[in-house]
Structure 1
Amino acid sequence: MGRKTPQEKKRLSYAKDRRNAYGENDKSSRKSIRRNKRIPHRANRHHDHQILEAVLGAVDELRSGAVEERLYVRRPKRWKKSPDAALGEILQGSIESRVKRGIEDPEVGRRRIRRIRQRQGKATEED
C-alpha cells in the first residue's frame, strides 16, 4: 500500500469522516448514548421483575402459564442510535443553507458544492 496524495486524503476524508448530524452537542453524545441505551433495558428488567414477582411461592402450572403470556405480550423497549453523516454531506448542507440565507453568493456556493462532490467521487452531469 503506497502513500496517499493530499487529494486522495481529502477525498477519503469527505467520504469516510463522520459528523454528528442529530442536532445536539457532539461532546454530550459520550454520555447520552450510554444513557439512552441504559434506560430502555432498565425499564424492561423492571417490567419483567414485576410480573415474575407474582409467581413467587408454590409452583402452579396455570399461574406460570398466565405469567409467561403476560411477559411476552408487551414488546420490549429499545433504542437505536441514528448514524452520523459523512463530512461531505454536512459541508454541502451548510453551504446550501448559507446560500439560502443570502450569506453566500449562489454561484460561489454551486462551485464549492461541485468541488465537494468531485472530491467525494459523486460528480454528476447536472453539475
Structure 2
Amino acid sequence: MSKTKNPQEKKRLSYQHDRRNTYGENQKSSRKNIPRSKQLSHQDERRSVRQSLIAARGNVVDEIADEAHSDALHKGRMKKLKAFRKSPDSPLGEVVKRRLGKRTKGK
C-alpha cells in the first residue's frame, strides 16, 4: 500500500521521479541507437588496440613487444574513457517547468 495519501503529494513525487526523453530524437529510436552506439565504441576500442599491436607481430625484440603492449593498454584505456555513455532522461518537473516557461514567453 502507498505511503502517500493525498493527490498533491503523489503529483509532487511524480514530478520528481518520472522521466521524459528530451534528447531531440524520436523516442523510439533509442531502442536501436543505444546498442548501436555501444557496439561502435567497443569496435573502435578493439581496432585501436589491434593496430598498436601490429608492430609486434612475429619474432620481435622484447623491448618492442613491451612498448607495443604498453601502447595498446594506453590506447585501449583512452578509448574506453571516451566511449559512448548513456545520459539519463530529464525529470518530469523540469520538463513541465520549461514548457510552461516557453508558453508564457510566446504570449
Q: TM-score, normalised by structure 1?
A: 0.69
Aligned-residue offset at 1:59:
5.0
| 1:42 paired to 2:43 | yes
| 1:8 paired to 2:2 | no
Question: Counterpart of 1:22 in 2: which secondary structure?
Answer: coil
- Report % sequence identity: 42
- Match for residue 59 of structure 2? 58
- Match for residue 119 of structure 1? none
Aligned-residue offset at 1:38:
1.6
Question: Counterpart of 2:56 in 1: which secondary structure?
Answer: coil
Aligned-residue offset at 1:31:
1.2
Check whether the contact 1:14–1:87 (CA below 8 A) recurs between aligned residues: yes
Aligned-residue offset at 1:10:
1.6
In structure 2, stretches of 5+ residues that fail to align are none
Count the aligned residue pairs: 102
- Match for residue 92 of structure 2? 87
Name the CA distance, whole Å, in 1 between partners of 2:2 and 2:12: 16
TM-superposition CA deviations, 1:15-58 (whole Å, max 9, x none)? 10001121112111111111222211110101111222332212
1:2–1:29: structure 2 CA closer, same or farther, 3 Å change rule? closer
Name the CA distance, whole Å, in 2 between partners of 1:39 and 1:73: 16
Letter in 2 for 1:38: Q
Name the CA distance, whole Å, in 2 between partners of 1:26 and 1:69: 41
Shift >6 Å, 4+ stretches = none
Structure having the higher helix fraction is: 2
Give me the CA root mean square deviation.
2.0
TM-superposition CA deviations, 1:40-96 (whole Å, max 9, x none)? 111010111122233221253021022124321572141222221110110010010
Check whether the contact 1:21–1:84 (CA below 8 A) recurs between aligned residues: yes
In structure 1, stretches of 5+ residues that fail to align are 103-127
Name the CA distance, whole Å, in 2 between partners of 1:9 and 1:56: 64
